[in-house]
Amino acid sequence: MTKKAPNPIDKHVGSRVRMRRMMLGMSQEKLGDALALTFQQVQKYEKGTNRIGASRLQQISQILQVPVAFFFEGAPVLPEGAPSEGLQEAPSPAYVSDFLATSDGLSLTKAFMRIPDPKLRRRIVDLVQQIAGGDTESQ
């Protein structure tokens, strides 16, 4: 018997829960306590292994102080009539959110935003782009 892959929407919602929890400096255990769950259940939600029901998502949104819609921002869009099971996940422009959901992404962003000099921040971006292979996309 093979394990079923998590639904892309469930994975996305879970990663947004994780990102927001980490932004607040909250542990899985603390979120679990607030939800009367174990930290393991929170882990399963964050990985998309277990789906988050509507009432539970509302509860999480209140604890993490964001609207429910926050968890769906940048979610993959399924084609009309396409079954969600076994769907290959296409690369998404939500890669920024995915990166921010990691501890490295969150740490890097927090440290970067503490740099007061905008010219220095721009030079750091240029340096990282050069190291990464010259992608010079400017904002």
- Supply the CATH number for residue 57's domain: 1.10.260.40
In what helix (H) or strand (E) does residue 99 lie, and over which residues does it extend? helix 95-100
Establish if 42 belongs to a structural domain: yes
If asked whether residues 131 and 67 sit together in one domain, one would say no
Q: How many domains does the chain have?
A: 2
For each of the chain's 139 residues, which pLDDT tens digit applies? 566 788 889 998 999 999 899 888 899 999 999 999 999 999 999 999 999 999 999 999 999 999 999 898 888 776 665 555 544 444 455 566 677 777 888 888 888 888 888 899 889 888 988 888 865 554 4
Q: Of 10, 13, 8, 20, nearest to 62 (Cα)?
A: 20
Establish if 59 belongs to a structural domain: yes
Establish if 54 belongs to a structural domain: yes
If asked whether residues 58 and 116 sit together in one domain, one would say no
User: The domain containing residue 55 runs over which residues?
Assistant: 1-75+95-101
Write the CA distances from 102 to 81, 88, 109, integer angstroms. 32, 22, 11
CB-CB neighbours of 31 under 10 Å: 23
Establish if 89 belongs to a structural domain: no
- What's the pTM value of the predicted model, to 2 decimals? 0.63
Q: How far apart are CA 53 and CA 127, in angstroms?
A: 43
Establish if 20 belongs to a structural domain: yes
Establish if 123 belongs to a structural domain: yes
